Structure formats: structure tokens, C-alpha cells
Structure 1
Amino acid sequence: MEETTFYNNRGKPVAYTQDETYIYLFSGKPVGYFDQDSIFSFSGKHLGRYNNGWVRDNSGKCVFFTVNASGSGPAKPAKSAKPAKGAKSAKPAKGAKQARPARPANSLSWSSLSFEWFFNQ
């Protein structure tokens, strides 16, 4: 399975998935997981959605992009080199999932959320 790297609005690689299920920071910390097109924190909070290579917050604004991002979205910045990966930490237990909010319209703007805030909501 091919690894997918998630880049922020400055082109910095901030997270990755190797199995299309769990998301890790490059430090090795597990920070979320996919359930269909939604992304949840391990506490069960709905963080956003993943579609066409874009990770969008719950208001439809782009937080991250992948090299395969296509369709509507803001201009993608040049990508920085990937950092070395730390050893993966144990995944926490999954909490009860929050209900998915209504799907917002996709925005052409970047979200004001930093990756730290996105994953630590």
C-alpha cells in the first residue's frame, strides 16, 4: 500500500497514512482515523472530511492536501522535504464517534486551523 503524505498550506509535510485507516504525525503520534470520507480524532470528534486528495475542516475549507489533490481548492504551495519518521506510538482506544455534521460546500480557501489545532480539537 502506498503511503500518503498530508501537507499544510505552506507545503510542510505534517502527517501521513500508510494504511488509509490511521493518520500519524511524523513524530509517530497517532492523531486520527478515517471512517468512509470522514476523519475522526481518537476521542470520537469529527475533524473533517477527505476527498480528492484534500482534507477539509467542518466548514469546507482546506486544511491539508496530498500530491494527488485535484478539483476545487486553493493554490497548492511548493512542497517541503519530508522529515524522518519517529517510531509509531500505540494507538489509543477509539471513543464513541460524534455524529457527522452536514456536508458543507467545498471552499476554495485555506482554513485558519493549524494542524496542531485540527488534530487536537
Structure 2
Amino acid sequence: MDHKLSVLVQVDLDGAYLRLVVTGCLTEANQHVLYPLVRRARTLIPPVTVSVDLTAAGHVEAIAVDLLRWAMDHDESLEGCSPVELLVPDALPTHRPAEPSGVRHLEASGWGG
């Protein structure tokens, strides 16, 4: 399965808020690429309020969220920088099982009878 991660950076006009909107898949294998963006955002316009929004992601692994939280909480080089707000959906989204290519679902009314 292809686990791509996309990040959109939104900055308000006053520079007081910076939001990283994550779409795609956040997994244990790719979460390490998100933290440098969070780190850069925290130091970009101090003091800035940074939010990492995972609510639009199509797939989020719990271990990836835990690893990201740990990295944000244990980066001593950012002591004194603004904290990060992590927005996580109540139920972590998972991939739906992939359908074999060429398979279509027919509606019940589509079957002549």
C-alpha cells in the first residue's frame, strides 16, 4: 500500500498562528518526515502558536501519533519555544481494504431479473 504524506502550511496574516494540515497517511514508517516541519514551524516566527492538524488525514496510525508527540515533547533544543497543539480525530482513520482493479460494485437494481 502506498503511504504518502502531504502537508499544507497555513500562516495567518499576523504571523501569530501557523497550522500544518496533514493529509494522506501518517504511519510509523513516515512520521519522522513530519517532525522537521513542526520543528521549523516552531522557530519560524517566535512566538507562534503551531497546530498540527491530523483530522484531514486518510490514515493515521496510533504509534505514529505517539512517536510524533514524543519527539515534540523531548526536543531540548526547542526549550522556550511555543508548544505545539496536536489535533487528532477521535477515531483514527484507517485504510479501507483495497479492491482488486477492474472490480466494480453493481447496485441491486442493476441486476435485471
Q: Give the TM-score of the pair, scaled to structure 1.
A: 0.22
Higher relative contact order (CA 8 A, sep 6+): 1
- Between Structure 1 and Structure 2, the one with more strand by share is 1
Q: Give the TM-score of the pair, scaled to structure 2.
A: 0.23
Structure label with greater radius of gyration? 2
- Between Structure 1 and Structure 2, the one with more helix by share is 2
